[in-house]
Chain A
Amino acid sequence: MSTTDPRTENFPLAAESREAIEGALREQRALTPTERVIAGVEAYTPQEAAERTLANEMLADTRPGVRAPLLINLGPNHPSTHGVLRLIVELDGEVVKEVTPVIGYLHTGIEKQCENKTWWQSVTLVTRMDYLAPFANIKAYTMSVEKLLEMEVPARAQWIRVLLAELNRIASHLVWLGTSGLELGAMSVFFYCYRERDNLLDLFEMVSGERMNHRYFQVGGCAQDLPPGFIERLQAFIDEMPRRIDEYEALLTGNPIWKDRMKGVGVLPADELIALGVTGPTLRAAGVPHDLRKTNPYSGYEHFQFEVPTATEGDCYARYLVRVREMRESLRILQQVIDGLPEGPTIADDRKVVLPPREELAWSMEALIHHFKLVSEGFKVPAGEAYAPIESPRGEMGCYVVSEGGPKPYRVHMRDPSFVNLQATAPLCRGNYLADLIAIVATLDPVMGGVDR
């Protein structure tokens, strides 16, 4: 930083560049690289931009082969950015020289709101962070609260959680596959993937009453048992799904256009990905078999036989193959859950934390009192801090909670894999074509609800 006064930065002061400059002025510091890029791309009126273009053209006319870099603004609303991701791209011809992701467009302050809700009310809020993996959000949150409560969750509840988490993984990967296909021009894949995803949403609705943003996992277990007829429908889905995945693969895996767009595109060595904090399928496609379900089994994952798909190439195509194979492995886990689902309660029997069964309210005074206390005041969680990491469809999703012993969380923080993985966009894209940027962002699979929270 050469200067400490951002006013000397010499931007034509269009309204948007003033934003960055005001922020820096208030803290008496120079503009940071990101602020300078944002201010730079926004600082021109259409007239000024036209003059700049003219000046660029004249430069190219007088000195052939010399061209000024082109700044373009992709998003925040662009069909290929998986939500409101904004990328400011600096181009030299068609080659990306630098990418600056700008996020925050979906920031709703969920972490702040959780501090003003009780522990059980916050469950509803955290579900809405990563909206393609609601069961993963809620599982990380409830697990961290259960850790602080030092609470045992019954086996049946654990298995149901595994079941829904794996169904959620398939649903999330289906959205990823469908939209990625759409972005690279393979339109029909989208329709096939959404057909199966809709079946999954029907199953979720059967269990939780909602198609998205389920509030089904509770602190201590699950809200209720699986409904009658659910297992049969799930079995039908599991029997059908391998053939459906074959269909997607028939459309894509050997498709020469798909391979041309994906192979060798967006490669980073594994150690650089780790240094950037990247986890999930992106890291596994670079040859690191890091999967929390295997390395730190939680919620009974140690009972199941499954492989952790990896690849060595680390390119977009490897990420595609890893995710498709993950769907097949999830189906294997689902079959084992159905075959071995233990009997028993689906929620812990702790009346200070868990709502009493509905029918007991009709005849038990104690149940009524507990119910009233839990709903009006909420349960108290012993003071301390806990971090519960799980393997979401996108990588390590961790929930960090701090309690001061009261009925409200003191701090809830979600370590969202999309947020951390998105940092790899710039190193992955540098030196690639602009068209490859679309493939790279697609295979990183960011969900902006989780990034911005």
Chain B
Amino acid sequence: MSDVSAQIELASPGAVVAEFEHVGELTVEVQRERIVEACRALRDGPSQYVLLSDVTCADFPDEPGRFRLAYQLTSLATGARVRLRAWAGALDPQIESVTSVWPGANWMEREVYDQFGVRFNGHPDLCRILNPLDWEGHPLRRDYPIGGEEVQFSDAV
């Protein structure tokens, strides 16, 4: 078990599901209910992952969890990086928001909500960000077709 997993386990026993090391990058999979505790443990822990670089998602329709979230954490002290992974669930995709740990997660989570339809519980302002507010569907889902959408804003000209 890596130091990162050990730190998470110390703060929240049983949170770590698995860990992977691939092409020199460490990925730690955590239970979706524990994501906030895991993030806080890494931010306040000895290796100081104080910067949340990115929150994003990928859609795997055949997997039971379907939406795989990826949180890229950076330590400003050592330059080390780790990726946290959590599955949001297929039927009612949702996860706790990490905006209480990093206010900068606000727009990143709004983007994931907009593009994938994953709900972030406890987010202060969860609405669409890149697409128009009344857009239907979530474009980055794998079952959202490319092409064939009606042309937008044609009434404005």
| Chain A positions near chain B (C-beta within 8 angstroms) | 18-20, 22-24, 26, 31-35, 38, 103-104, 107, 109, 111-113, 115-116, 147-148, 150, 274-279, 288, 290, 292, 295-296, 384-387, 389, 396, 398, 400, 402, 410-411, 413, 415, 419-420, 422-423, 452-453
Chain B nearest Cβ from A375, distance in angstroms: 22
Contact between chains at A104 and B125 (CB < 8 Å) = no
B90 contacts the other chain (CB 8 A): no
Chain A nearest Cβ from B40, distance in angstroms: 12
B14 contacts the other chain (CB 8 A): no
Chain A nearest Cβ from B87, distance in angstroms: 14
> Which residue of A is nearest B136, CB measured?
A26
If A19-B133, A20-B134, A411-B58 touch, whether A34 touches B83 (CB-CB below 8 Å) is no
Residues from chain A with Cβ under 8 Å of B83 in the complex: 385, 387
Instruction: Determine the distance from Cα of A32 to Cα of B51 in the docked complex, in whole angstroms.
Output: 26
Please name 10 pairs of A and B residues whose Cβ atoms are closer than 8 Å in the assembled complex, sorted by A: A26-B134, A32-B126, A33-B124, A104-B132, A107-B130, A112-B139, A112-B146, A274-B51, A277-B52, A400-B72
Contact between chains at A104 and B130 (CB < 8 Å) = yes
Instruction: Determine the distance from Cα of A24 to Cα of B127 in the docked complex, in whole angstroms.
Output: 8
One of A103, A148, A402 near B58 (C-beta < 8 A): A402
> Which residue of B is nearest A109, CB measured?
B139
Residues from chain B with Cβ under 8 Å of A396 in the complex: 53, 74
Instruction: Determine the distance from Cα of A148 to Cα of B22 in the docked complex, in whole angstroms.
Output: 9
Please indicate which of the listed interface residues B22, B53, B136 has the most CB atoms of chain A within 10 Å of its own CB: B53
Top 8 A-B pairs ranked by shortest CB distance?
A277-B104, A295-B79, A415-B54, A276-B104, A411-B58, A32-B127, A22-B134, A107-B130
Residues from chain B with Cβ under 8 Å of A18 in the complex: 134
Contact between chains at B70 and A385 (CB < 8 Å) = yes
Contact between chains at A288 and B107 (CB < 8 Å) = no
Instruction: Determine the distance from Cα of A275 to Cα of B125 in the docked complex, in whole angstroms.
Output: 17
Q: A20-B134, A23-B127, A413-B54 are in contact. List 18 more A-B contacts (CB 8 A).
A: A20-B133, A23-B133, A31-B127, A32-B124, A112-B139, A112-B144, A276-B102, A277-B102, A278-B104, A295-B76, A385-B22, A385-B58, A385-B83, A386-B22, A396-B74, A415-B56, A423-B106, A423-B107
Q: Beta-carbon contacts of B62-87 to A below 8 Å, as 1s and 0s?
A: 00000000101010100101010000
> Which residue of B is nearest A271, CB measured?
B50
B36 contacts the other chain (CB 8 A): no
Residues from chain A with Cβ under 8 Å of B76 in the complex: 274, 288, 290, 295
Interchain Cβ contacts within 8 Å, total number: 132
Contact between chains at A398 and B72 (CB < 8 Å) = yes
Chain A nearest Cβ from B9, distance in angstroms: 23
> Which residue of B is nearest A148, CB measured?
B23
Contact between chains at A400 and B54 (CB < 8 Å) = yes
Contact between chains at A415 and B53 (CB < 8 Å) = yes
B122 contacts the other chain (CB 8 A): no
Contact between chains at B53 and A103 (CB < 8 Å) = no
Chain B nearest Cβ from A72, distance in angstroms: 20
Residues from chain B with Cβ under 8 Å of A415 in the complex: 53-54, 56, 72
Instruction: Determine the distance from Cα of A197 to Cα of B66 in the docked complex, in whole angstroms.
Output: 47
Chain B nearest Cβ from A411, distance in angstroms: 4
B103 contacts the other chain (CB 8 A): yes
Residues from chain B with Cβ under 8 Å of A292 in the complex: 79
Instruction: Determine the distance from Cα of A18 to Cα of B133 in the docked complex, in whole angstroms.
Output: 10
Could you tell me how many residues of chain B have their Cβ less than 8 Å away from some Cβ of chain A? 46
> Which residue of A is nearest B24, CB measured?
A147
Residues from chain A with Cβ under 8 Å of B59 in the complex: 411
Q: Beta-carbon contacts of B38-54 to A below 8 Å, as 1s and 0s?
A: 00000000000011111
Chain B nearest Cβ from A41, distance in angstroms: 13
Residues from chain B with Cβ under 8 Å of A402 in the complex: 58
Residues from chain A with Cβ under 8 Å of B58 in the complex: 385, 402, 410-411
Residues from chain B with Cβ under 8 Å of A113 in the complex: 146
> Which residue of A is nearest B72, CB measured?
A387
Chain B nearest Cβ from A279, distance in angstroms: 7
If A274-B51, A277-B52, A398-B72 touch, whether A103 touches B104 (CB-CB below 8 Å) is no
If A32-B126, A423-B106 touch, whether A150 touches B131 (CB-CB below 8 Å) is no
Instruction: Determine the distance from Cα of A197 to Cα of B118 in the docked complex, in whole angstroms.
Output: 43
Contact between chains at A23 and B135 (CB < 8 Å) = yes
Contact between chains at B54 and A387 (CB < 8 Å) = yes
Please indicate which of the listed interface residues B133, B140, B144 has the most CB atoms of chain A within 10 Å of its own CB: B133
Contact between chains at A420 and B107 (CB < 8 Å) = yes
Residues from chain A with Cβ under 8 Å of B146 in the complex: 112-113, 115-116
Instruction: Determine the distance from Cα of A104 to Cα of B127 in the docked complex, in whole angstroms.
Output: 13
Contact between chains at B140 and A387 (CB < 8 Å) = no
One of B79, B108, B132 near A420 (C-beta < 8 A): B108
Instruction: Determine the distance from Cα of A384 to Cα of B52 in the docked complex, in whole angstroms.
Output: 22
Residues from chain A with Cβ under 8 Å of B27 in the complex: 385
B25 contacts the other chain (CB 8 A): yes
Instruction: Determine the distance from Cα of A415 to Cα of B74 in the docked complex, in whole angstroms.
Output: 13
If A23-B134, A410-B58 touch, whether A389 touches B53 (CB-CB below 8 Å) is yes
Instruction: Determine the distance from Cα of A369 to Cα of B70 in the docked complex, in whole angstroms.
Output: 38
Residues from chain A with Cβ under 8 Å of B132 in the complex: 19, 104
Instruction: Determine the distance from Cα of A111 to Cα of B107 in the docked complex, in whole angstroms.
Output: 17
Residues from chain B with Cβ under 8 Å of A104 in the complex: 128-132
Contact between chains at B102 and A275 (CB < 8 Å) = yes
Residues from chain B with Cβ under 8 Å of A33 in the complex: 124-125
Chain B nearest Cβ from A383, distance in angstroms: 9
Contact between chains at A19 and B134 (CB < 8 Å) = yes
Instruction: Determine the distance from Cα of A284 to Cα of B53 in the docked complex, in whole angstroms.
Output: 16
